[in-house]
Structure 1
Amino acid sequence: MRLLNPCLLAIGALSPVVAALAFDGAVGFGAIATGGTGGTTVHVTNLDDSGSGSFRDAVSASNRIIVFDVSGYIQLSSAVSLSSGLTINGDSAPGNGIGIMGGEVSASGKSNIIIRHLRMRQGTLDSDSGKSAFNMGKATNVILDHCSVEYGQWDSIDAVSAVNITVSNSIIALPIGQQFGAHVETGPSTFYRNLWVSAHNRQPLSKDDTQYINNVIYNYQAAYTAANTGGDFSHDIINNYFITGPSTTSSSDAFYQMNSGQSVYSSGNYLDSNKDGVLNGAAYNTVGSATVLSAPWASDSLALATLSAADAVTYVLQNAGASPRDELDTFVVNVVKSFGTDGTLYKNQANTGVSNGGYGTV
């Protein structure tokens, strides 16, 4: 068995003893994000793309806690750049919540960002196909929790050269363009209790040391993907449920590009490959030619894995995504509940048949 780098051991040892959590219940490597704690509370008072009271204006300065006095979609005319030291509380919005559509939300190069209950839906309204729904490239200390990320063109989530990130309790679904879920490099990263739906690949692409726990992955062509020639990393893959759908050509691609350079602790994972409309999978922990670890590389991974794979399906289908659940997320969840009989990979959000040109009505 390949010995772990002492630095990685140090990171793993620190993970369960975070001095102050981003919020009560925050987990993983992004839980150390401080956000806008102690800063100014700024209210978003309209759905305008820019100007006084807009979301773009609210996130233009650091050390802020963003709350919403309005509900509905904010349609971007260009990517919106976040500042460092922000807490974005989407659940503060009245009514049916808040969403961002038609452009990238970017935390590129920033640090200490907490985002909760925010819908980020890029789609073809964004003319720049090289952008993603959410970009945290070169960012540090970021946590997304109960977010809904759909219709990403380059990736749903771009986290190249990102350090200390968590994506939890979120829906990452229906990427268009490249049809990729998430691309992570550098890390470490934690993906916890997420729902991944109808992507060609990268759910996520993990070029880092990763915790992947209690996720549900549906209608994949390639699901959890390792670095291939991109480097040697460690992966804790625990109690996840992989469910094939109409777009799945090879069920064994639940684990993809697991070469001999990767070290993997794989336990409690299930695969439902028969597409018969019933959740009735079997244990599946085959990790290709990767080095098999006898224990997780991160010291808190087993403590996080409180749900079995089957219980994770129940929990994630009920709880993942921004609250309250809206039309588009309901569509996504219902596709998964077909357990193999429904689902496709899209190139344009309008093809879903969901209202508002595919974006749904918030």
Structure 2
Amino acid sequence: MYFSIAVLVTALLSPTVSALAFDGAVGFGSIATGGTGGTTVTVTTLADSGTGSLRDAVSQSNRIIEFSVSGYIVLDSALSLSSHLTINGQTAPGNGIGIMGAEVSASGKTNIIIRNLRMRQGTLDSDTGHSAFNMGKASNVILDHCSIEYGQWDSIDAVGTVNITVSNSIIALPIGQQFGAHVETGPSTFYRNLWVSAHNRQPLSKDDTQYINNVVYNYQAAYTSGNTAGYFSHDIIGNYFITGPSTSTAKDAFYQMDAQQSVYASGNYLDDNEDGELNGSSYNSVGSATVLSEPWSSDSSSLATLSAVEAVAYVLANSGALPRDELDTFVVSQVKSYGTNGTLYKSQTSTGVSNGGYGTL
């Protein structure tokens, strides 16, 4: 009897594994609970504010947001999210839902799940110090199958953020600083994303990071460490770096990898001949960083189920908000040129895509 009671007490006191944010969620942000158990609220209008708007829907915590409308919500100002929130863009009918013209902010919030949402800031936002998506000082955040374009400061700002996953997403065509993502604190997971035509920060990782099965195209600097910002560990596995017309130094696929960084790099490829074909070769050179013989994170190897070549096919077919729209189709078409097309933009209007560069939903 004593043994049975002891076992029971131990079981009650032992920590339990948290449920995943959704079926198939991976990485450090997969512990996000979002609006689980809360109220389901349906967005019924594309208006910036008022009854039935997205702004009204995200103004309170413990909500699951769904959509009965499709198209773009044009923001008049930054959209601030509450904590404990799930945004299910996949519930929108037709071609889906998008946000344009201002920042989406989860700054300082916790437990955020965002899926199948297009966040496209662009020059319609007069505040050039804002990013397309800002989760600074937030915790437990997962973005999945999102499309994030035309960020002015960064595409994704995650300074001071704890437990992040960005998966199956398109992070492309940043304007202004032309930066992809800035992460500090962490840890973070970047998994099966498509990064296109950025000057730098794809991402800038000032944290312990998993970077698995990503594709980076037409970069000037791709995976970037914190340089002298501190000692961090990086698992960089099965990624494909493809140079383009804007790439000046192909070896900047790994950038600022100094002696303060510890890196496990395996199965990565670099295609730098820009001949219109995907025909790169193995590339795992990480500068002066300390080379790890095994991943620092216990689940990195199990997440890396695709080779770098397989990652290209998968990411080009599946990344971004679904169904894929005009702008994402344009982005993917540039990557499929394998070195012959692409440029760094300063404005969405320069792309030639309809609706002033935002594309038509």
Which TM class, normalised by the smaller chain length? over 0.9
Q: Are residues 1:193 and 2:192 paired? A: yes
Corresponding position of 1:299: 298
Give distance in 2, aligned partners of 1:255 and 1:323: 30
What is the aligned partner in structure 2 of residue 59 from structure 1? 58
Deviation at 1:19, TM superposition (A): 2.3
Q: 3-state SS of the aligned residue for 1:36?
A: coil
CA offsets 1:203-259 (integer angstroms, 9 cap, x no match): 000000000000000000000000011111000000000000000000000000000
Q: Which has the larger radius of gyration?
A: 2
Aligned residue for 1:229, secondary structure, equals helix
Residue 96 of structure 1 is matched in structure 2 by 95
Distance 2:141 2:31 in 1: 8
Residue matched to 1:12: none
* Residue in 2 that maps onto 1:158: 157
3-state SS of paired residue (2:22): coil
Can you give the 5+ residue segments of structure 2 that lack an aligned partner in the other structure?
1-15
Q: State how far apart, in whole Å, the 2-side matches of 1:323 and 1:239 are.
A: 24
Q: Give the share of equivalent positions with the same residue, in percent.
A: 82
Residue matched to 2:3: none
- The amino acid across from 2:54 in the alignment is F
Q: Which residue of 1 aligns with 2:319?
A: 320
CA distance in 1, matches of 2:234, 2:298: 12
1:183 aligned residue: 182
Off by >6 Å, runs of 4+ in structure 1: none
Q: How does 1:5-16 map to 2 (within 5 A)?
A: none
User: 1:18 touches 1:31 (CA, 8 Å); kept in 2?
Assistant: no
Give 1:300's aligned amino acid. Answer: D
CA-to-partner distance for each residue in 1:71-124, whole Å, 9 max, x for gaps? 000000100100000000000000000000000000000000000000000000
Q: Which residue of 2 aligns with 1:13?
A: none
Aligned pair count? 346
Deviation at 1:18, TM superposition (A): 4.3
Give per-residue Cα distances to partners, 1:143-184, cap 9 Å, x unaligned.
000000000000000000000000000000000000000000
Contact 1:18 1:32 in 2 (8 A): no
CA distance in 1 between partners of 2:182 and 2:229 (Å) = 12
Q: How many angstroms apart in 1 are the aligned matches of 2:273 and 2:201?
A: 22
- Whether the 8 Å contact between 1:71 and 1:93 is mirrored in structure 2 is yes
Q: Distance in 1 between matches of 2:242 and 2:195?
A: 10
| Structural mapping, 1:11-90, within 5 Å | 18-90=17-89
* Number of the residue aligned with 1:174: 173
Structure 2 matches for 1:184-223, cutoff 5 A?
A: 184-223=183-222
Query: Does the CA-based 8 Å contact 1:237-1:269 persist in structure 2?
Result: yes
Amino acid aligned to 1:293:
L
TM-score (ref. length: structure 2): 0.95
Quick one: which amino acid aligns to residue 346 of structure 2? K
> Does residue 145 of the first structure (1) align with residue 131 of the second (2)?
no
Aligned residues: CA RMSD: 0.6
Cα separation, 1, equivalents of 2:331 and 2:198 = 12
Structure 1 segment 197-346 matched on structure 2, within 5 A: 197-346=196-345
Q: Give the equivalent residue in structure 1 for 2:352.
A: 353
Give the secondary-structure state (helix, strand or coil) at the position aligned to 1:253: helix
TM-score (norm 1): 0.95
